[in-house]
Amino acid sequence: MGVMGLIMGGLLASMRQVIEGETLLKKMQAVEEETRFIMDAFAQDAEYSELDGACCKPTAATGDIFVDTVRFKLTEKKSELESGGTLESAYTYGSSGSDYYLKRAITDSDDPANPAIITMNNTPLSAKPIYRIRLVETPDGSDNYLTTVSLVYRVTINDQPVQIPVETSAMSRTFEF
């Protein structure tokens, strides 16, 4: 009977480790899915739009700048920027206690009072997102911007918080007329 008890105890301990490993895997998959979604949206906005100069365009003299909110004017052609009537995509954050959540607000210039606000992640961040913008001069002399977003997710495993850092960068494209 004692031997059977030891065997059962060992099996239960092994099963607990398997369940904890599966829980960790599911949490990591959720972080990966959220990160892929965030990075795809952010990279698309950074590559296929123009930075809003009022908030976050560095000059050669200022070097890299760090901002809490980065705004993009969403357009397909440079002529659309000049004619007005564009959409704006703003990346910022919201907090709930010590948890931070990445927010994306889409604002139509025709109706700026009613932005569509989307929370980009369900897994909380342990710190507010950091945006770094660098002016990069192209070989033909035009200005492009390298925009980097840094996120640190907080995942709880066995009542222990684990921080998962993620960072991506996207280069703005040169507009065609």
Q: Do 40 and 66 meet the contact criterion of CB atoms below 8 Å apart?
A: no
Region 86-110: mean pLDDT is 87
pTM: 0.74
pLDDT class of 64 with cuts at 50, 70, 90: confident
The yes-or-no verdict on residue 125 having pLDDT over 80 is yes
The yes-or-no verdict on residue 18 having pLDDT over 70 is yes
Give which of 13, 30, 39, 49 is closest to 173, Cα–Cα. Answer: 49
- What local confidence, expressed as pLDDT, does residue 83 receive? 55
Reported as a single tens digit per residue, the pLDDT across 70-87 is: 888 876 555 555 555 578
- What local confidence, expressed as pLDDT, does residue 152 receive? 92
Region 11-29: mean pLDDT is 84
